[in-house]
Structure 1
Amino acid sequence: MSSPADAPDDDLAVPSEPALPARCEVLVVGAGPAGSACAAHLARAGHEVWLVDQHDFPRDKVCGDGLIPDAHQALQRLGVLDEVMRHAHAVSHVRCVAPRGGHVDVPGTLAVLPRRRLDALLCRHARRSGARVLTPARFESLIEQDGQVVGARLVHGGQTREVHTRWVVMATGAHVPALARTGLCDRRTPSGVALRAYVHHPGLAESHRTMDVVWHRALRPGYGWIFPCGGDVYNIGVGAFFRRGDTRERDRAADANLREVFDAFTRLYEPARALMDGGTMQGELRGAPLRCTLSGARSGRPGLLATGEMLGSTYDFTGEGIGKALETGLMAADTLLGAGTDDHATLADYERRLDTLRPKFALYERANRVNAHPWLADLVIWRARRSPRLLQRMSGVLNETSNPGHLISARGLLRLLTG
């Protein structure tokens, strides 16, 4: 498998249409996992869909690149799992590392695939499914008539072009300016921030095969990670998360110099130190905001739906966002497939679908206290090393069959202490 930095562009390129039409049925803005999933699902059902992105493919995205079971399930439903897995690096365990150095390997259906390749695969799948793709096309503003969204203005080829459409689906990720121009933004501040790099190190392939997640006081309120991408390339990074309503945590995360946190991670965790000391960085350290907890934006208004990380589809605690971005994209498509002439009924249907996800996000938001109080990771990992049942529950968190919040509830902590 090619490494993230040296994959040939023609292998990852997505052909673009030469120009936009004046009208279409559905316009999807943003060709990441949520947008591509939505466009592919709608186009496969016979709808006229245009999928636009502000960048040509291939293009990069700051991410941990991990595909956990919810991503596998969404990719399976989308019909692209086998293709993705032919390019991905399969991993059998997540290694959870506590501040005092203890660790436990949690089994799961896991893989790693850099977003540069994943997003290109998903966009090409949407195109094969019948969606028309146009890049680069930057979202400028919505077109409205009597309170109804009836299209969008896009900048393409140096000119602003208007596209009138029955529905606009916004899937532009954590990019706040685009979200603000939709009138859906309830919160401009991110839920967290992340910083990552790709490093090539041939000497670690035999000794480092797990997806490592590391908690430590020096990494509060977040964690560090090392994920193997295959081809002797590793995704290494740090993330900082703050809990909703905790202004002290928000200010600390906002003020944190993530480069200093990254340097601390490479000092305190021996595999990270070995990777950086003996490896070669591919590109630069890159950072990005995160929007979590399925909050911070309204889901839509007449003629407009928002999906993916615009809605906060990244999980607190773990920072995993690919699976839920895909899932919300599919939900947006399912909503439009059943839409009638009453936009308010369509919006209510979409909100009901999203409501089925909110309890899971609430549980991960509750579990996010581990990132702020890493001693909790010491306790959970210490007990999991001695309890096959607890290890099974931790594996269930990956598979979304166990409640992550229960591990650190008052009752859960008592059970951990008393056995």
Structure 2
Amino acid sequence: MLSLPEPAPAGTLPDACDVLIIGAGPSGSACATVLAGAGLQVCLVDQHDFPREKVCGDGLIPDAHAALARLGLLDEVMRHATRVSHVRCVAPRGGQVDVPGTLAVLPRRQLDFLLVRHAERAGARRVTPVRFDAVIEHGGRVVGARLRQGDLTHEVRARWVVLATGASVGPMVATGLCTRRTPSGIALRGYVRNPALAGQLATMDVVWDRALRPGYGWIFPCGEATWNIGVGAFFRRGDDGRDRAADANLRQMFDDFTRVYAPARRLMDGGELQDGLKGAPLRCTLEGARHEGRAGLIATGEALGSTYDFTGEGIGKALETGLLAADTLLAGERAGRDEAAIRQDYATRLAALKPKFVLYERANSVNRHPWLADLVIWRARRSPRLLRRMSGVLDETANPGHLMSLRGMLRLLTR
């Protein structure tokens, strides 16, 4: 287990920098690491000191591993993470299948601390706790931001401002980048310590049941006889523009999860909940924000909707989009492109990711119709080929949407 220091403020705000990154989660820290490593003056701010809590399932699937490897941080992360060999998919009728993959679990309190520290080592200047107030504009261009540090307000000028503020809608509205205020879903999680189950519940369990519609429950092992347990619900926008299931009662879902899934019940009955249950919104499918940004301003990570529908996986895609933002800014600088061309390049790169997110949105039908999980898992238990495809969904070599298409359903029934 990583030994974390007590939260402590870091750094002082500069008057100016090349890039000001607001938000030091995975996307912001990844972006800061690459830009600072390339020699740019980067100021990385966050409203919290580190280490700090973050509501998440804490799962690291192959896309996160790949991004961490590119950052040069994978080995260090894996020294502290709990390695997992399979995702256990559990259907409403009790059928289950273990899907192999390159997997690990590390609580975000630890992961985000490692990421922000890595950005500092690359040369980024971290300043916390700092709250974002507003952008500074000149001649129609964003040229910095007004930040609050304690009781003081400070203006930081920058050639570029990168917004990496996660699912919080306030900063997106304040900067004019928000196109959808409501989240795509919501999640509730807690950490439970239960020494009696040490050595058990070693898979990453994902459970579907009618009682959990339109979402699912999970149990992920964190090591030291502690598990991340939670539920998530995904919304669906109807023809009238309203979000279906936006009023999902997560606490009731959590109670139902412990009722319908025996391992969850055992975990809670004999365990001690650490620091209560905590909830958070999710922003998915690369929707809800202007991809092209504004003059002098772009967004990255969950502010853009970088979390996958269906699985709720967000760490890997937050890292990926943070790297994408850094790559775009560096490529534009080196090629001498004007600002409009850089922002258009970023929008184009994000658009190239969109089809994959759409496929996960399609696969989200399992959360709305859990009987589909019965069908897929029943077939996967009899088909090594389908099991390989499900494993491919984890490492993004297979298409989750194809499994949930009409053609995919017919194949499951006839092959």
User: What TM-score, normalized to structure 2?
Assistant: 0.97
Aligned residue among 350, 360, 364 for 1:364: 360
Contact 1:243 1:365 in 2 (8 A): no
* 2:64 is equivalent to residue 71 of structure 1: yes
Aligned residue among 202, 211, 230 for 2:195: 202
What percent of counterpart residues are identical? 71
Contact 1:242 1:249 in 2 (8 A): no
What's the CA shift for 1:204?
Answer: 1.6
- Which secondary structure does the structure 2 equivalent of 1:356 belong to? helix
Contact 1:65 1:112 in 2 (8 A): yes
Aligned residue among 263, 266, 271 for 2:258: 266
Separation (CA, whole Å) in 2 of partners of 1:21 and 1:313 = 30
| Other-structure match for 1:397 | 393
Q: AA paired with 1:134?
A: V
| Other-structure match for 2:10 | 16
Aligned residue among 33, 39, 49 for 1:40: 33
Separation (CA, whole Å) in 1 of partners of 2:239 and 2:58 = 28
Per-residue Cα deviation, 1:87-118 (whole angstroms, up to 9, x for no partner): 10000000000000000000000000000000
Separation (CA, whole Å) in 1 of partners of 2:238 and 2:75 = 41
Contact 1:14 1:124 in 2 (8 A): no
Separation (CA, whole Å) in 2 of partners of 1:245 and 1:218 = 22
Aligned residue among 389, 409, 412 for 1:413: 409
* 2:295 is equivalent to residue 302 of structure 1: yes
Q: How does 1:129-148 map to 2 (within 5 A)?
A: 129-148=122-141
Contact 1:94 1:105 in 2 (8 A): yes
Q: AA paired with 2:10?
A: S
Contact 1:212 1:227 in 2 (8 A): yes
Q: C-alpha root-mean-square deviation of aligned residues, in Å?
A: 1.3
* 2:267 is equivalent to residue 275 of structure 1: yes
Contact 1:214 1:225 in 2 (8 A): yes
What's the CA shift for 1:244?
Answer: 4.0
- Which secondary structure does the structure 1 equivalent of 2:132 belong to? strand
Contact 1:150 1:165 in 2 (8 A): yes
Contact 1:15 1:133 in 2 (8 A): no
Unmatched 5+ stretches in structure 2: none
Contact 1:107 1:395 in 2 (8 A): yes
Contact 2:143 2:296 in 1 (8 A): yes
Separation (CA, whole Å) in 2 of partners of 1:348 and 1:308 = 18
- Which secondary structure does the structure 1 equivalent of 2:39 belong to? coil
Separation (CA, whole Å) in 1 of partners of 2:407 and 2:84 = 32
Q: After alignment, is 157-166 or 383-392 more displaced? A: 157-166
Contact 1:294 1:314 in 2 (8 A): yes
What's the CA shift for 1:149?
Answer: 0.3
Unmatched 5+ stretches in structure 1: none
* 2:343 is equivalent to residue 347 of structure 1: yes
Q: AA paired with 2:37?
A: R
Separation (CA, whole Å) in 2 of partners of 1:94 and 1:39 = 32
Contact 2:236 2:244 in 1 (8 A): no
Contact 2:4 2:51 in 1 (8 A): no
Q: 1:73 to 1:160 in 2, by over 3 A?
A: same
What's the CA shift for 1:8?
Answer: 4.5
- Which secondary structure does the structure 2 equivalent of 1:362 belong to? helix
| Other-structure match for 2:382 | 386
User: What TM-score, normalized to structure 1?
Assistant: 0.96
Per-residue Cα deviation, 1:145-165 (whole angstroms, up to 9, x for no partner): 121000000001311110111
What's the CA shift for 1:205?
Answer: 2.4
- Which secondary structure does the structure 1 equivalent of 2:177 belong to? coil
| Other-structure match for 2:88 | 95
Q: 1:87 to 1:361 in 2, by over 3 A?
A: same
Aligned residue among 274, 280, 283 for 1:288: 280
Q: AA paired with 2:372?
A: L
Q: 1:311 to 1:88 in 2, by over 3 A?
A: same
- Which secondary structure does the structure 2 equivalent of 1:227 belong to? strand
Per-residue Cα deviation, 1:265-302 (whole angstroms, up to 9, x for no partner): 00110000000000011101000000000011012111
| Other-structure match for 1:58 | 51
Separation (CA, whole Å) in 1 of partners of 2:339 and 2:303 = 20
| Other-structure match for 1:337 | 330
Aligned residue among 87, 104, 109 for 2:97: 104
Q: AA paired with 2:224?
A: G
Q: After alignment, is 199-208 or 380-389 more displaced? A: 199-208
| Other-structure match for 1:164 | 157
Separation (CA, whole Å) in 2 of partners of 1:127 and 1:34 = 14
Q: AA paired with 1:262?
A: F
